[in-house]
Amino acid sequence: MKKLIAGNWKMNGSLAANEALLRAIAQGLAGGAPSCDIAVCVPSVYLPQLQALLGEAASPHVPALGAQDVSPHASGAFTGEINAAMLKEFGCRYVIVGHSERRQYHGESDALVAEKARAALAAGITPIVCVGETLAEREAGRTEEIVRRQLAAVIHVNGHCISEIVVAYEPVWAIGTGKTASPDAAQAVHAVLRAQLQAASDRSARVRILYGGSMNAANAKDLLRQPDIDGGLIGGAALKATDFLRIIAAAPHPVPAKTAI
């Protein structure tokens, strides 16, 4: 399976800064097909700008477009919300749901995250479902329980099409802190999530499980070579083209599928 490297620009950027960043990324990718899939998840107001810039790019090797949140509702009196059909109109292929910053600052529950994933899937957008434990939960030995509970809610609501999601394991204590889970520790949690997906769907092998939390150019290679780490969700390091390109370059090529003799 091809790895996926997705940038989460969070609430950063401006028209000028986005254009410079996107052009630098596109230029860095112009030399040939990267070994992995790439996406940038940008603030929603900039989706039209990014859609236009990506459409104009001379090279076919450009990132796919993603958003950072979506309403669970289809339309109506939900002031400030953006629905999945709107994201689709602006070329979104991915949308992040349940990022820890939304769970923490906006009180998003597991059930709401599951509904957001459902809304994205219904519109043909791949939800990148974030799960992860806080430092207190890790120290209390509750990591597995927390991530399994968060993923179970999404499986419960989306069971029939769970193989269409991407999961991102993002330990909250590692996001934006410079502290990264060690490759072995991250792999152990990814294996738990993989087993949970396997129990839920016989098509689970196609679900990519990304790691997120201070992934950078220096640590990406060791994380991305773990068997159940299928890519990265990158915050800070996605805002500098050179760093983002170095993470992309660190992604190993997919192992070719075995052919029957």
Amino acid making up residue 79 = T
Q: How far is the CB of 70 from ligand PEP (least distance, A)?
A: 16
Contact between 154 and 201 (Cβ < 8 Å):
no
Neighbour count for residue 163 (Cβ, 10 Å)? 15
Residue with Cβ nearer ligand PEP (39 or 215): 215
Residue 67 phi/psi, 5-degree rounding, is -110, 175
Contact between 174 and 218 (Cβ < 8 Å):
no
Residue with Cβ nearer ligand PEP (5 or 200): 5
Residue with Cβ nearer ligand PEP (9 or 164): 9
Contacts (Cβ under 8 Å, ≥6 apart) of 2: 35, 36, 37, 254
Rounded Cα–Cα distance for residues 244 and 246 (Å): 5
Is 190 considered catalytic here? no
Q: How far is the CB of 176 from ligand PEP (least distance, A)?
A: 4
Q: How far is the CB of 159 from ligand PEP (least distance, A)?
A: 26
Catalytic one of 99, 101, 133, 190:
99
Q: How far is the CB of 120 from ligand PEP (least distance, A)?
A: 17
Rounded Cα–Cα distance for residues 223 and 214 (Å): 11
Going 56 to 87 to 250 to 20, the CA torsion angle's sign is positive
Task: Summarize as ranges the residues that interact with ligand PEP (CB under 6 A).
Answer: 8, 10, 170, 175-176, 212-215, 233-237
Q: How far is the CB of 236 from ligand PEP (least distance, A)?
A: 4
* Number of Cα atoms under 13 Å in the Cβ half of residue 164: 18
Neighbour count for residue 161 (Cβ, 10 Å)? 13
Residue with Cβ nearer ligand PEP (231 or 236): 236
Catalytic one of 101, 115, 164, 170:
170
Residue with Cβ nearer ligand PEP (66 or 235): 235
Q: Select the residue whose beta carbon is closest to ligand PEP and give its number.
A: 235
Is 253 considered catalytic here? no
Which residues carry out catalysis? 99, 170
